[in-house]
Chains A and B, each alone.
Chain A
Amino acid sequence: MQIAIIGNGISGITAARYLRKDSDHEITVISSETDYFFSRTALMYIYMGHMNYEHTKPFEDWFWEKNKINLLNRHVEEVDFDHKNLRFSNGETFAYDKLILATGSSPNKFGWPGQDLRRVQGLYSYQDLEALQSYSDEIETAVIVGGGLIGIELAEMLKSKGKEVIFLVREASFWNMVLPKEESEMINQHILEHHIDLRLETEIAEILDDGQGNVKGVKLKDESIIDCQFVGLTVGVHPNISFLKDTKLATEKGILVNEFLETNIPDVYALGDCVQHQNPPPGRRPLEQIWYTGKIMGETIAKTILGDKTTYQPGVFYNSAKFLDIEYQTYGAVPATPEEGTEDFYWQSPVEHKLVRIHFKKDTKAVTGVNTFGIRMRQGIWQNWIEKETSVEEVLINLGKANFDPEFFKKHEQDIIEAYNEQYGASLKLKNKKTGLMAIFQ
């Protein structure tokens, strides 16, 4: 049986690896981006010189041949679902028995005049990185449009090369659709500390041409003009499925899949960034463009294809990011503003960029999620607390158990519990001190 996988990102590659582990089917992974799987999340580090492209490949090149996973650098232009055939841009065709679509995302562009000029780009693919590197030296001032995770990465990248960076954010505060006010404001402040010119509630109207097809500036909605040699468009991504539109395949924003990641066509499956879940698992959105969900989908689909029909179960939500120097982890659900019947306990260090917010239900006090900035926490422990609907007070007295900071790092559990006691008139006491090296050294 020939299993064709379009897309050699984390989703497609995970599917291939797990299919290979438990079967002898022919497996072919097709992608037109790079010959080998690399980690998209590390694009910024290549530009900043922390790593070379080679370092971002999670597997050495010999791995694929040894594991009999065929890699094909081709661009799929058309899928003939009736005849189970792919057509590549070079005219070749490729017959499959089962097809896995893992085509990822593309950066959004909202139809701004000038959005296709030279030195205007998003940051998603390896080609985007190459483009940026090719004209990096021409950039003195860069404008970044859109305040999300990729926007702040792009800002950090350009700043690391000494560029003037102007960061335009439509909202009143950075990423405030996701982050509660205090978190968002702390990041605003941190962005300014890095001498990145953050301009909130600012939107562009037009990108200006220098007459030779290069960007020379942006015009804002208030008609003012910023001169710049680069515009980064980081206003989100959408499923990369344009070549699948107007086929038998059911799509909306993304490729529609059921809980088994099956599409409306037999023997055709979809995973990763490009899917839209018809019945998203509890606590999950229909589109979730996250690294590990692609991985879980890859493992799930491999089981299903090999006869062990398995539902996609990503479990308690979690995610992490780094905003310049501030690490962020989140477990469970912490909405930007508490919904009915829930509330937040939040603690912030007066001296450092450290913040913890625990979200819980008013009636049972059961925790639903946590945001932690500047303090690393254990996924396993939080997952368990959230699944078991542990009360916030129980969590707080055991908070040390969740601490995942390196040895000798300053502990804040005591400060946190004191803040809670003060706010809620409680008298909780910490139960667990960290064990291990610390217990002996301290």
Chain B
Amino acid sequence: MKNTGIFLILTALVLWIALLFGNTYKLTPEILLETASQEHADLLRPKLEDLFDQEHSNVFSFSSSIKNAITEVNKELDAEGKSDQKIYDTYELSLTKAAGDGLVSNNKGLLFGLVFSLLVLGALMFILPDLNLLPGIKNDGIFHHPGTSVKWLGIILGALLIIFYILLYFFPHFIANWIIVLDPLSNFMNGNKASQWFLYGFLYTIAVLVMGIRMLVKYRHSKYQMIRTGSVMFFQLIFAFMIPEILTKLNMPSADLKNMWPLDYSFFFDYRIDQKIEAGTLGIFMFVWGIILFAVGVPVLTYFYGKRWYCSWVCGCGGLAETLGDPFRQLSNKSLKAWKIERWMIHAVLVFAVIMTIGVIYTYMSGNSAIFGVIDTGTLRYYYGFAIGSIFSGVVGTGFYPLMGNRVWCRFGCPLAAYLGIVQRFKSRFRITTNGGQCISCGNCSTYCEQGIDVRWYAQRGQDIVRSSCVGCGVCSAVCPRGVLNLENGPEASRNI
């Protein structure tokens, strides 16, 4: 059964990759006009002459030609001193999608259904037989398995994930076919064609749900883990995926209402503020809600429950880490050196996020594009988005799951985690209690701590664990064979540190 499951998953994967090559593209002046604005169409038309009315089968060269055309147009505009007319739209994706005319474009629904039913069915066939094992911690063979111990399979998985993120963020036009097959679903949910972000959201949600089921099976002896996993599955499906799409369909500003600044680093960007203001009452409500979340929600809830209320119960990044990432949690580095790097790095990102945001708000309010006349806020914003938003949280954050564990982003890069962590460390009732002298220093807790906390260091001294990075996943407590650890909230003074 498990092997059949693997076979189906692999079939789905091969099919999915094959989709990239299963289409032809034919760009016509009409398509150009339908897709691009009149102005842009006029600018682009001369550059795209060569492509018109010919059938292309290679998505890479086809979409690259479009991209080149845009680049050329922009260059010329620069040279003519008309930089304000430059094209920022990603027509290389929308035109490629629209020009698609082949097997994939003509069988969107069928291919979508085939790939994802094979994938989900295969995954369930792989996961559900574990119900036959007796409930309890079952970590057998994790460090012998090539996928979960940074051996060949782990490296392949990591490479695939990294490639996927690079394509998604920087070359979405290369994966236009994947986005095409999601058009029907996107259309159904929000009334528009799929974007690369719809694809991403969909895959993300599938990953959280399917791997969430795995988590539920694996930890079915622990009600804490079951409820917590149910919570991240719920927030991903409803808040991150469905509500924003429905809002779009209703012509309202779409928003992931559980996401918050500074993780949601573009919260204060001009276009997002404007969008909310235009939307009237609901938009204003969303804006105020977003501010209340981080200004009041974080300190209050973290005071009572620790940062776990967000990081391992609600957050989308955390949700993916706790589901898709669970098989890799043991790969986090536990050394003191890693902790030192973590501390400066995550706080540096927080500082960067705060400065960038202040700059952006300043520009928004004053109209000046530079703070103190030197730092250009647009540049700041661009680099934050590129380095932190795309590379760190995506490519590294998830791509490195099989190489460095499932919380690389949450541990080293997330500015919100840094903020929550400061509250947790200095003003919170949360701690992990150590049960007297019962610890036998076996090391299971430290090994399975996704945040790389050397839990044993504290446990074997009989100290409570109060660390800013602890996301309260509770796995250290679950894997401890001697019942030494417990996540608890209690009077601050009773934290034994």
Binding site for B on A (CB under 8 A): 10, 39, 41-42, 45, 48-52, 55-58, 60, 160, 193-194, 291-292, 295-296, 318, 320-322, 324-325, 327, 329, 376, 378-380, 383, 404-410, 435-437, 440
B340 within 8 A of A: no
Q: Kindly state whether residue B481 has any CB partner on chain A within 8 Å.
A: yes
The yes or no answer to B143 lying at the interface (CB within 8 A) is yes
Q: Taking CB as reference atom, which chain B residue is nearest A10?
A: B441
Q: How far is the CA of A55 from the CA of B437 in the complex (A)?
A: 20
B contact residues, range: 35 or more
**Minimal beta-carbon separation of B480 from chain A (angstroms):** 9
Q: A325 to chain B: which residues have CB within 8 Å?
A: 134-137, 221
Q: Is B378 an interface residue (CB 8 A)?
A: no
Whether the pair B486, A406 counts as a contact (CB closer than 8 A) is yes
Report the Cα distance A427→B490, complex, angstroms.
Answer: 31
Interface residues of B in 437-480 (CB under 8 A from A): 437-438, 440-444, 446-447, 456-457, 460, 474, 477-478
Neighbouring A residues of B436 by C-beta, 8 Å: 318, 378-380, 383
Main secondary structure, interface of B, reads: loop
- Chain B residues near A327 (CB-CB < 8 A): 481-483
- Assuming the contacts A50-B143, A379-B435, asked whether A39 and B478 have C-beta atoms less than 8 A apart, the reply is no
Known: A60-B336, A322-B481. A291 touches B440 (CB 8 A): yes
B456 touches A376 (CB 8 A): no
14 CB < 8 A contacts A-B: A39-B440, A42-B440, A42-B441, A42-B442, A49-B139, A50-B139, A50-B142, A55-B334, A292-B438, A321-B482, A325-B137, A325-B221, A378-B435, A436-B488
**Is B80 part of the binding interface, using a Cβ–Cβ cutoff of 8 Å?**
no
- Which residues in window 314-346 of B have CB below 8 A to A? 334-336
A408 and B227 in contact (CB under 8 A), knowing A42-B444, A45-B444, A379-B438? yes
Q: 4 smallest A-B Cβ distances: which pairs?
A: A379-B436, A325-B136, A376-B483, A42-B442
Contact assessment for B478 and A406 in the assembled complex, using a CB-CB cutoff below 8 Å: yes
The answer on a CB contact under 8 Å between B144 and A41 is no
B305, B433, B447: which contacts A50 (Cβ < 8 A)? B447
Of the residues A10, A52, A296, A329, contact of B438 by C-beta under 8 Å: A329
CB pair A50 B444 closer than 8 Å: yes
| Beyond known contacts A49-B145, A58-B460: 11 more, CB 8 A cutoff | A42-B441, A42-B442, A50-B143, A58-B441, A58-B443, A60-B336, A292-B437, A318-B437, A318-B438, A325-B134, A325-B221
For residue B140, CB closer than 8 A to chain A, the reply is yes
A48 — which chain B residues lie within 8 A by C-beta?
139-141
Q: Is the CB of B488 within 8 A of A39?
A: no
Within 8 A of A (CB), among B28-77: none
Chain A residue at smallest Cβ distance from B225? A406
Mark out the residues of chain B between 121 and 143 whose CB falls within 8 Å of any chain A CB in the assembled complex: 134-137, 139-143
B222 & A41 in contact (Cβ 8 Å cutoff): no
> Is B390 close to A, CB under 8 A?
no
Measured between alpha carbons, how far is A318 from B142 in the docked complex, in Å? 32
CB pair A437–B488 under 8 Å, yes or no, is: yes
Which A residues lie within 8 Å of B478 (CB)? 406
With A and B bound together, what is the CA distance between A296 and B433 in angstroms? Answer: 21
Answer whether A58 and B223 are a contact pair too, CB < 8 Å, given A49-B144, A52-B143. Answer: no
